[in-house]
Amino acid sequence: MLACVASEALTGLVGHAVDVEADVAAAAPSFSIVGLPDAAVQESRERVRAAIVNSSFEFPSRRITVNLAPADLRKEGPSFDLPVALALLEATGQLTRKAPPAPGRRVLAAVGELGLDGGVRPVTGVLAIAEGLRRHGAAGLILPQANAAEAALVGGLNVYAVRHLREAAAVLACGGEGVTPAAHPDVGALLDEAPAPDADWSDIAGQRHVKRALEVAVAGAHNVLLCGPPGAGKTMFARRLPGVMPPMTLDEAIAVTRVHSVAGLLPTGSGLVTRRPLRAPHHSISSVGLVGGGATPRPGEVSLAHLGVLFLDEFPEFRLTALEGLRQPLEDGDVTISRALVSVRFPARIMLVAAMNPCPCGYLGDRERDCVCPAYRVRHYRERLSGPLLDRIDLRVEVPRLSPGERRTIDAEETSGVVRARVTTARRRQLARLAGTGAYANAHMTVRHLRRLCTLEPAATTLLDRAYERLRLSARACDRIVKVAQTIADLAGAESISAAHIGESLSYRSANHGVLHG
């Protein structure tokens, strides 16, 4: 007897419709799965066998063939356990649907991992799977209880949460009739209830120029490089940046949730990521871990930081291949990973915050401690950062050691909420100007956007031309200077870019001792 249960396979963040076909024939007992399954799918034979038996169903002692169609699409992970078991139960007559599948009819799909006791365990990538099923016209989705909140974010798709194989079989048999689907959450309320940051901007004493530079960077989503001695506060600043970034919109929250779901980083029972991500990988990370990839392409840290902050401390200590792999994502806002059989794209719209010491010992130019590094070591340390990579960093800021007086000014510092209000106002101006372009911040403007949307006053143009010649800037560097100047103008509420805005933007392109020149 033949049976078919709908399911979904993921390639990166894109769902593809899969028909799980089961045929049970009167022949020598065997159990085979075909259709390009990976090792996890092949191992489902043992999980399905035990789950069916321990759920008080009968496992057939016949030849069982399970086909995952289309056969030329790679199937990965344990999410096919549940549809395979349901297809077997239907093929053996232990499950009879109230309305059998027919061509053109909207059907129920199923995903989930099975425990040996028949329990249904959560799987990854459910948000992308649910979006794919809605796109393919499915009526509903049977899935693990722990994934219900995530799938319920997708409107137009009934979500049936189950804890056990017997529950899943009952839902499939009745087609969902009489079963209450999971309620779609009030996403607006979820975003409003986002927890407050653990650390506040007011925790940092002094450093007025650094705070100003980072406010500009956050307002325009610009990349920034912090340079200073150990203990000057570089990490403190980076850790507090998500708290001064604009609140996430619904589309942004879903985009971040989609990536984290595929990576398996959503907490159990959590449906929506409501805070902008902050990723801070160790400098020993590989290129694949940072940018993404692997035999089965997975998102790297640059994608997990999508619409948030990627903080790279000890920037020159990262592997050269890993750092150079950042060049394309920083320019394009996404990562494309190509393999022999598949090519996937992961989003990577990040604000890069890098931190480094001015030299290997960390005290070059410090006013209290002398540097002990030979000149050749300082030169070698700086050369680990290539010119093309530095050219993609908009602001380069020195973070000096605090003076005794600055350490005592903490009570007068602005809070994260005050800074976030200014940043949000500036971002709204950008969104209005960039409407219809696909960009949401000044850092993401193309050359065409710059020419069409940014207005430079004559004095500003003259100053920029002079800087281009004297500082030997690249064309890309000039464009980025204009983008930062436009952000400064947005913070000031100005309609055009003045010479003062260009001047402040230029001041962020260099620092003392030549450490950050480019």
Q: Do 357 and 397 share a domain, yes or no? A: yes
Phi, psi of 316 (to 5 degrees): -70, -15
Say whether pLDDT at 419 is over 90. Answer: yes
Say whether pLDDT at 518 is over 50. Answer: no
Q: Do 235 and 313 share a domain, yes or no? A: yes
Whether 164 and 55 have beta carbons less than 8 Å apart is answered as: yes
pLDDT of residue 407: 64
Strands 14-25 and 2-11: antiparallel
Strands (E) across 55-164 are located at 63-69, 108-110, 113-114, 120-121, 140-144, 158-162
| Dihedral, CA of residue 214, residue 215, residue 217 and residue 220, to nearest 10 | 170
Q: 405 vs 481, which has greater pLDDT?
A: 481
| CATH code of the domain in which 347 resides | 3.40.50.300
Q: Do 278 and 397 share a domain, yes or no? A: yes
Q: Do 147 and 271 share a domain, yes or no? A: no
Residue type, 358: P
pLDDT, average across residues 138-161: 93
Compute the C-alpha angle 434/435/439, nearest 5°: 55
pLDDT of residue 408: 62
Confidence of residue 515 (pLDDT cuts 50, 70, 90): very low
Q: Do 240 and 102 share a domain, yes or no? A: no
Kindly give, in sequence order, each residue whose CB lies less than 8 Å from that of residue 484, ignoring residues fewer than 6 positions away. 216, 220, 222, 394, 395, 442, 505, 508
Confidence of residue 201 (pLDDT cuts 50, 70, 90): confident
- d(Cα 244, Cα 421) in Å, to the nearest integer? 8
pLDDT of residue 404: 66
Whether 339 and 297 have beta carbons less than 8 Å apart is answered as: yes
Say whether pLDDT at 166 is over 60. Answer: yes
pLDDT of residue 190: 76
Q: Do 398 and 285 share a domain, yes or no? A: yes
Q: Which of 391, 406, 436 is the last residue of a domain?
A: 436
pLDDT of residue 214: 95
Say whether pLDDT at 102 is over 80. Answer: no
pLDDT in tens, 319-374: 999 999 999 999 889 999 988 778 899 999 999 999 999 999 988 888 778 899 99
pLDDT, average across residues 227-251: 91
> In whole numbers, what is the pLDDT of the chain averaged over residues?
90
Q: Which of 416, 436, 456 is the last residue of a domain?
A: 436
Say which range, 443-447, 470-474, 484-488, has the weakest mean pLDDT: 470-474
Whether 129 and 111 have beta carbons less than 8 Å apart is answered as: yes
**What are 364's two structure tokens?**
């070059």
Residue 370: inside a domain, yes or no?
yes
Q: 515 vs 465, which has greater pLDDT?
A: 465
| Alpha helix stretches (DSSP H) within 263-326 | 287-291, 301-304, 320-324
Strand partners, 292: 299
pLDDT in tens, 51-92: 999 999 999 999 999 999 999 999 999 999 999 999 999 999
Give first-to-last CA distance, the chain, whole Å. 70
| H or E stretch covering 344 | strand 343-347
Whether 407 and 202 have beta carbons less than 8 Å apart is answered as: no
**What angle in degrees, to the nearest 10, is found between the helix axes of 458-470 and 499-507?**
30
Q: Which of 174, 193, 216 is the last residue of a domain?
A: 174
CA 474 to chain centroid, in Å, comes to 30
User: What's 454's DSSP letter?
Assistant: -
Nearest to 267 by CA among 388, 147, 145: 147
- d(Cα 189, Cα 173) in Å, to the nearest integer? 35
- d(Cα 449, Cα 51) in Å, to the nearest integer? 58
Confidence of residue 103 (pLDDT cuts 50, 70, 90): low
Q: 497 vs 101, which has greater pLDDT?
A: 497
CA 367 to chain centroid, in Å, comes to 40
Residue 40: inside a domain, yes or no?
yes
Q: Do 94 and 143 share a domain, yes or no? A: yes
Q: Do 155 and 215 share a domain, yes or no? A: no
- d(Cα 161, Cα 478) in Å, to the nearest integer? 54
Residue 256: inside a domain, yes or no?
yes
**What are 359's two structure tokens?**
């030299």
- d(Cα 28, Cα 196) in Å, to the nearest integer? 62
Confidence of residue 49 (pLDDT cuts 50, 70, 90): very high
Is the omega angle on the peptide bond into residue 70 within 30 degrees of 0, that is, cis?
yes
| Dihedral, CA of residue 6, residue 7, residue 11 and residue 15, to nearest 10 | 80
- d(Cα 148, Cα 456) in Å, to the nearest integer? 51
Q: Residues 437, 439, 441, 442: is their CA dihedral positive or negative? A: negative
Residue 183: inside a domain, yes or no?
no
Phi, psi of 450 (to 5 degrees): -60, -45
pLDDT, average across residues 389-409: 81
Whether 315 and 285 have beta carbons less than 8 Å apart is answered as: no
CB atoms within 10 A of CB 34: 13
| CATH code of the domain in which 153 resides | 3.30.230.10
Phi, psi of 492 (to 5 degrees): -85, -10
Confidence of residue 200 (pLDDT cuts 50, 70, 90): confident
Total tally of structural domains belonging to the chain: 2
User: What's 419's DSSP letter?
Assistant: H
Residue 228: inside a domain, yes or no?
yes
Q: Which domain holds residue 347?
A: 201-436
pLDDT of residue 455: 93
Q: Do 150 and 273 share a domain, yes or no? A: no
Confidence of residue 510 (pLDDT cuts 50, 70, 90): low
pLDDT of residue 138: 92
Say which range, 222-226, 381-385, 386-390, 411-415, has the weakest mean pLDDT: 411-415
Say which range, 197-206, 311-320, 432-441, has the weakest mean pLDDT: 197-206
Residue 86: inside a domain, yes or no?
yes
Confidence of residue 473 (pLDDT cuts 50, 70, 90): confident
Q: Do 249 and 329 share a domain, yes or no? A: yes
pLDDT of residue 409: 60
Q: Do 264 and 395 share a domain, yes or no? A: yes
How much is the CA Rg of the chain, to the nearest whole Å? 27
pLDDT in tens, 172-190: 999 888 899 998 887 777 7
Kindly give, in sequence order, each residue whose CB lies less than 8 Å from that of residue 436, ignoring residues fewer than 6 positions away. none
Say whether pLDDT at 411 is over 70. Answer: no
Residue 187: inside a domain, yes or no?
no
pLDDT in tens, 375-394: 999 999 988 898 889 888 99
Q: Do 125 and 40 share a domain, yes or no? A: yes
Residue 516: inside a domain, yes or no?
no
- d(Cα 66, Cα 87) in Å, to the nearest integer? 9
Adjacency order of strands within the sheet including 108-110: 30-34, 63-69, 14-25, 2-11, 108-110, 140-144, 158-162
